[in-house]
Structure 1
Amino acid sequence: MADHSLNDMAAGQRASNDPPKMEARNVDVFYGAKQAIKNVSIDVGMENVTAFIGPSGCGKSTFLRTLNRMNDTVSSARVTGEITLDGDDIYSPEMDVVQLRARVGMVFQKPNPFPKSIYENVAYGPRIHGLASGKADMDAIVEKSLRRAGLWDEVKDRLSESGTAMSGGQQQRLCIARAIAVEPEVILMDEPCSALDPIATAKIEELIHELRGRYAIVIVTHNMQQAARVSQRTAFFHLGTLVEYGDTSEIFTNPRETRTKDYITGRYG
């Protein structure tokens, strides 16, 4: 797709009632000589959940990781173009990456609680960022985060137990509580339900609905039904390019691009 079409799609989001929290323009990602992302431009708003869909290996998770510089951890990775958070270039040398990752949290595909108590999993981030002035303050942060993650009533009497002893679905909600605890502005979710059973998946999806509007949320999913259920905006990636981006209802019922229609109707992927 031509550059101007991608930027038109991003401008379409700006023209809506959802001003962008993050803006990406002409982003390329390379791993060594291999180009994984090609000229992607997209806006992420505060009011809508944005879903990235596409076949395996299409670049959706790679692009997600550019939004909080997780690709910095890969020595061969190189990112060009511009990505801003509230207008500030996140790849600027002046950007504090630790602070960036507090503002743009990440929830991974496989739940990864720390080998600590439930309480300490949630308290870890606020403690290292100096967000609590004392134990009472920390207790309040932990409770608020667990409540927002829909977990408080299930764990309030066993906060000293290990986070790794919880069920998979509870562990994933604990990881969401851990991300929330540092008061992020954006939450990135990389296939957060792929390792979970249907009941746990439903709880995570319900949680995403409840968190919408408090945070800008981006979810990568291989499950198109999930994208249709939880998101209001959908971006379809294929072979490292952003093929189409728009309202979820439009993408699924009236896609503009043949490749999008073919993927959604199951002709490939």
Structure 2
Amino acid sequence: MGHNVNVPPTLTTKMTARNVSVFYGPKQALKNVSIDVSRENVTAFIGPSGCGKSTFLRCFNRMNDTVASARVEGEIALDGHDIYAADMDVVQLRARVGMVFQKPNPFPKSIYENIAYGPRIHGLARSKADFDVIVESALKRAGLWDEVKDRLGESGTAMSGGQQQRLCIARAIAVDPEVILMDEPCSALDPIATAKIEELIDDLRGRYAIVIVTHNMQQAARVSQKTAFFHLGTMVEYGDTSTIFTNPVEARTKDYITGRYG
């Protein structure tokens, strides 16, 4: 039988969330959210402050474990394995599902050591030559190599904010993750640094499943292929980014996108 070239390849589902709810003490921050995250797409979570989008993002690598009052219900799976199962190694999980935070947070170490740190902990390299290759590769993928290759011994905290954020992305990439979570990665950056991060996200698409939380709707429209709109702890609508921004089904989505509230 002839191969039908018009059939689009099926997207590879990387992570799934089913009926996820999050409570901080008695307060429910997220209600019954289900979503599939594919490897090929950048998925954006948008919505007003306090709507639950960052809370949901933090469920994907169990960052909510660090909040004493937090309780997560429902199921989140990586390659079909429940990440909240008792036998899940959380350190390993966070290597596979990397996180880039709102405020760039390089370690107070050299640029080189910022990148080599994770691979060293996870035993991904032994010799100096191996580390050199990992460091160069991660910095190249993060679009930083040409800017920093002659000052790898300098402190990561001495760089500009935009460079620090790209260093944090390089640091996440260095342990060869499968998923990268980004929690408003550009909110502390100027427009030029923001454009560089957006270009970088575009370059990384397809190599990692990427989920980005953003307040900036133009940014979501530029970098993502799928968008989920959150409001008051619920996921109101989820679909192709182009549809969400031009032809949303839900009135609340339309109101938010056209600036009626937020």
TM-score where L is the length of structure 2: 0.96
Q: Give, in whole Å, the separation in 1 of the partners of 2:11 and 2:104.
A: 30
Select the residue among 134, 151, 154 that pairs with 1:158. 151
Q: Give, in whole Å, the separation in 2 of the partners of 1:37 and 1:61.
A: 10
Shift of 1:122: 0.3
Select the residue among 231, 234, 243 that pairs with 1:241. 234
Q: Give, in whole Å, the separation in 2 of the partners of 1:240 and 1:43.
A: 18
Q: Give, in whole Å, the separation in 1 of the partners of 2:260 and 2:204.
A: 34
Asked if structure 1 preserves the Cα contact closer than 8 Å seen for 2:60 and 2:76, the reply is yes
- Paired residues for 1:170-185 under 5 Å: 170-185=163-178
Q: Give, in whole Å, the separation in 2 of the partners of 1:53 and 1:136.
A: 42
- Paired residues for 1:186-265 under 5 Å: 186-265=179-258
What is the alpha-carbon root mean square deviation over aligned residues? 0.9
Q: Give, in whole Å, the separation in 2 of the partners of 1:19 and 1:140.
A: 29
Select the residue among 111, 114, 126 that pairs with 2:107. 114
Shift of 1:20: 1.1
Q: Give, in whole Å, the separation in 2 of the partners of 1:16 and 1:168.
A: 39
Q: Give, in whole Å, the separation in 2 of the partners of 1:76 and 1:207.
A: 35
Shift of 1:17: 2.7
Select the residue among 99, 103, 111 that pairs with 2:96. 103
Q: Deviations over 1:226-254 (max 9, x none)?
A: 00000000000000000000000000000
Select the residue among 102, 113, 121 that pairs with 1:128. 121
The count of residues paired between Structure 1 and Structure 2 equals 255
> Which letter does structure 2 place at the counterpart of 1:126?
P
TM-score where L is the length of structure 1: 0.94
Partner-residue secondary structure (3-state), 1:268: coil
Structure 1 stretches (4+) deviating beyond 2 angstroms? Answer: none
User: Please, which runs of 5 or more residues in structure 2 have no aligned partner?
Assistant: 1-7
Look up the match of 1:29.
Answer: 22
Q: Give, in whole Å, the separation in 2 of the partners of 1:100 and 1:19.
A: 19
What percent of counterpart residues are identical? 85
Shift of 1:16: 7.8
